[in-house]
Amino acid sequence: MRTGKVKKTSQPIHHQPPIRPSSLPKPKMPRRSNLLTVLSLLVLGLLGAVMAERSAGCGKANTIRSQQYTITINGKQRQYIMKIPDRYDNNFAHKLIFTWHQLGGSAQKIVNGENINQGGALPYYGLNALANNTAIFVVPNGLNAGWANQGGEDVTFFDELVKRVEADLCVETTQRFSTGFSYGGAMSYAVACARPTMIRAIAVISGSQLSGCNGGNSPVAFYGQHGTSDSVLNVSGGRQLRDRFVKNNGCTPVNPEPQPNGQNSVKTVYQGCREGYPVTWVIHRGDHNPSQTDSGSSTPFAPRNTWEFFSQFS
């Protein structure tokens, strides 16, 4: 830093008048320092914003455990199962992942998993095995084993679960996700429509519009997959859900419609989407199945694809 030159004097130094700070020339701040100062302030501001997204449960001794709970919503008793990491850290902000079961299923079946060779899904749709203690799972139980969402009551259930979980556990509130198969996919779609600012991304596996779509005009990151031979929910229903968020997210439609590659799935990542709001679509030749595999593989591709999609926002 340059401060200007002080002229030498032949007088003894004790006779020299003291130099007051106000009389010194003002130093010139190099432009590089100005830039670094601005960047430092921006980084601090961003860090502050990130810290502000941590839930109220961060740093608290948690009372929620990995077990089933019951709450009352609109006069009805509702059940849900919590799964927190085995090595839960109340100072680490976790992802919060909702997993909704299919029609006729249950929260317990999502927790336990079912035979993937008979149309079942892996436990927690295979995501807990990939999360490596970074995610908290909420597994709601549907009324009449489904998600009719009459009068928005299942979305209200979602609202209350978010409130209760985040008051007790440490969650990164910009990292809420939702996934499900069939009716569970429809419920994830309903949440994205009605609560777009509360959900970061959804993954719809062989879904259709069964749980309604209150709102549905705001962007939400969307992953969808469906089989062209689906005998329960036609692939056209899955494409309809996808196309809503292709439009909402400002993506460029794909023409012609993506098709499977023989017995292998084809993944399409849409281009031109608004930053932070991607759309990915996976098409396969299979039936109504959450555990579809590619030719020569015994591992379902939905868990890996879903986890990669959710993880891009970390």
For residue range 171-212, list pLDDT tens digits in order.
Answer: 999 999 999 999 999 999 999 999 999 999 999 999 999 999
pLDDT at 27: 43
Q: What does the angle CA 69 – CA 75 – CA 77 come to, to the nearest 5 degrees?
A: 25
- 70: β partners: 79
Residue 56 has pLDDT above 90, yes or no: yes
Residue 141 has pLDDT above 70, yes or no: yes
pLDDT at 1: 39
pLDDT digits (tens, 9 = 90+) for 60-115: 999 999 999 999 999 999 999 999 999 999 999 999 999 999 999 999 999 999 99
Residue 15 has pLDDT above 70, yes or no: no
For the whole model, what pTM was predicted?
0.84
pLDDT at 52: 46
Cα separation, 164 vs 169, whole angstroms = 9
- 77: β partners: 72
6 Cβ neighbours under 8 A, 6+ residues apart: 19
* Mean pLDDT, residues 261-274: 98
